[in-house]
Amino acid sequence: MLEQYPYGWWSCSYTVSPVDDPPSLVAFRNILKEIKGHETGWPVWLSLDTTPAMTPHVLGDVIECWLLDTEDADFWRADPKGQMFLLRRFQEDTGEIKGIEPGQVFDLTLPIWRTGECLLHASRLAARLGAQHAEFAMAWHGLEGRELRTVASRGRRTPLFPGHICHEDEVRTTVETEAAAISDTLPELVKSLTAPLFARFDFFEVQDEFYAAEISEMRTGL
């Protein structure tokens, strides 16, 4: 599977609990469609029914989907018991951002948006499943040698001078929270998950105001 991501990938896994009455797989697939986000474009845990290859399918007791023929090449798995996993190619490596060579750049804004979108997805799913608690894990792989840049935001909110390079290949972070608190504490939760990531780029620190502004823009639906 990972050979589909030669330059790198990011992933999110989360669990909402307790789920005392898990829905059937049919009902759960409908729930996933209903809670799809509408923030910055390509939603997390997206379901496409355009071709058989990109249609979710049942694998044992879970739903699995592989959007290999898309630029992001999403792979995801969803368990009605409240366990979710998503794997995606870095947008910086897809060729859709003009002037960016695959494997060379890591954007400052995109991890904030994507992490925020995943947290909001968990919030919506928890509400539908009657879960109160959420455990979150993020991972970014293929970072070594990349330079931190402001591509998506074009540097409009924070100065970022050249030379912030990552010297390790993978960063993983975790956070736990009450599901009902996700929406109101989203900037703080996103910071908890991404600040250790940005620090790997030669100690770069993102200010609270930048998190708040980017999360606010993300939530408006770009």
pLDDT in tens, 210-220: 999 999 999 88
Query: Count of residues for the chain?
Result: 222
Judged against a pLDDT cut of 60, whether residue 162 lies above it is answered with: yes
* Mean confidence (pLDDT) of the chain: 92
Assign 114 a pLDDT band (cuts: 50, 70, 90). very high
Domain membership flag for residue 210: yes
Domain membership flag for residue 161: yes
Domain count, the chain: 1
| Residues 6+ away with beta carbon under 8 Å from 189 | 119, 136, 175, 177, 182
Sheet arrangement for strand 9-17? 57-59, 62-66, 75-79, 83-89, 9-17, 133-141, 170-178
The whole-angstrom separation of Cα 112 and Cα 91 is 13
Domain membership flag for residue 139: yes
Domain membership flag for residue 2: no
What pLDDT sits at residue 119?
Answer: 98
According to DSSP, the β-strands at 75-79 and 9-17 are unpaired
Domain membership flag for residue 79: yes
Residue of 91, 217, 210 whose CA lies nearest to 159: 210
Domain membership flag for residue 162: yes
Domain membership flag for residue 1: no
Mean per-residue pLDDT, 66-85: 93
Domain membership flag for residue 135: yes
Q: Higher pLDDT residue, 176 or 71?
A: 176
Q: Global pTM?
A: 0.94
What pLDDT sits at residue 138?
Answer: 98
Q: Whole domain around residue 48: which residue ranges? A: 9-219
